[in-house]
């Protein structure tokens, strides 16, 4: 039996003036999956994510998260979805603990639960020792991990991560990718991750979707895409080879 769709879009479209950023997009992410959301710069990934979060209004079609409309059921959707934006912003003068405390407050996490959740989140991302350091002094990798800690505060069912490893060194990127994988495995968090790093996506994703010029040109397991592109599922094709094939055709 197919698991329930946690993310579901149908003919989702976003028009910015004359430009169509997302066009007739229909895809599903099942509960418990890691879905790698791929596509070149300007393909419409971030725009899609913003519609899933109710942060921008679709021009046509629908987006559903756990069966809810992100605009109509905005509060409930925000409660269950943790979002790490492309450019995470922090107040550089706050330390990591204060920063999480502030976010917990914004998210309405009751005081009695706050300290425990902050401690657990810091621990999970490996920042416990740096909790008293000002975020302004953090390296990019530490900031990204703090971003994940913020996401974890509300104990989300779904995480939407927009290029979380951008700008990280190879080791930092690998650590973050493994952290995302362990959160998926151990806490059963469904993950949608957009990234240009195809080998990382290949390492952790159960399914991928390739978006080009606002449309999803392929989606499914990496094996199924290899089969569709090259005729064999177990030919050892890398996601990069598959992606380039669609890219050249698109």
Q: Give the residue with the Cβ less far from ligand ATP, 86 or 105.
A: 86
| Distance between CA atoms of residues 242 and 23, nearest Å | 22
| Distance between CA atoms of residues 115 and 94, nearest Å | 16
Residue 48 C-beta: closest distance to ligand ATP, Å: 7
Residue 56 C-beta: closest distance to ligand ATP, Å: 8
| Nearest by Cα to 208 from 172, 238, 182 | 238
Q: Give the residue with the Cβ less far from ligand ATP, 217 or 233.
A: 217
By CB under 5 A, tell whether 47 contacts Mg ion. no
By CB under 5 A, tell whether 165 contacts Mg ion. no
| Distance between CA atoms of residues 10 and 205, nearest Å | 22
| Distance between CA atoms of residues 208 and 194, nearest Å | 10
| Distance between CA atoms of residues 97 and 232, nearest Å | 50
Q: Rule CB under 6 A: which residues touch ligand ATP?
A: 16, 19, 21, 39, 41-47
Binding segment for Mg ion among 38-46, 99-107, 210-218, 230-238 (CB under 5 A)? 38-46
By CB under 5 A, tell whether 46 contacts Mg ion. yes
Q: Give the residue with the Cβ less far from ligand ATP, 43 or 109.
A: 43
Instruction: Tell how strand 60-65 and strand 5-16 pair up.
Output: antiparallel
Return residues touching Mg ion (CB under 5 A).
45-46
């Amino acid at each position: 039996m197919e698991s329930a769709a946690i993310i579901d879009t149908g003919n989702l479209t976003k028009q910015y003036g004359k430009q169509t950023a997302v066009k007739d997009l229909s895809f599903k992410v099942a509960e418990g999956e890691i879905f790698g959301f791929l596509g070149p710069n300007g393909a419409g990934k971030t725009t899609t994510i913003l519609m899933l979060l109710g942060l921008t209004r679709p021009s046509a079609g629908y987006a559903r998260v756990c069966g809810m409309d992100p605009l109509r059921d905005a509060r409930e959707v925000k409660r269950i979805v943790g979002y790490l934006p492309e450019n995470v912003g922090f107040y550089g003068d706050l330390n990591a603990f204060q920063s999480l405390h502030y976010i917990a407050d914004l998210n309405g996490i009751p005081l009695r639960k706050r300290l425990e959740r902050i401690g657990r989140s810091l621990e999970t991302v490996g920042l416990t020792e740096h909790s008293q350091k000002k975020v302004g002094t953090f390296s990019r990798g530490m900031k990204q991990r703090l971003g994940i800690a913020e996401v974890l505060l509300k104990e989300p069912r779904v995480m939407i991560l927009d290029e979380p490893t951008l700008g990280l060194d190879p080791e930092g990127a690998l650590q973050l990718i493994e952290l995302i994988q362990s959160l998926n495995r151990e806490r059963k968090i469904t993950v949608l991750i957009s990234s240009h790093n195809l080998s990382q996506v290949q390492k952790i994703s159960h399914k991928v979707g390739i978006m080009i010029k606002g449309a999803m040109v392929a989606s499914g397991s990496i094996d199924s895409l290899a089969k569709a592109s090259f005729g064999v599922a177990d030919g050892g094709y890398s996601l990069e080879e598959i992606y380039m094939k669609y890219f050249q055709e698109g």
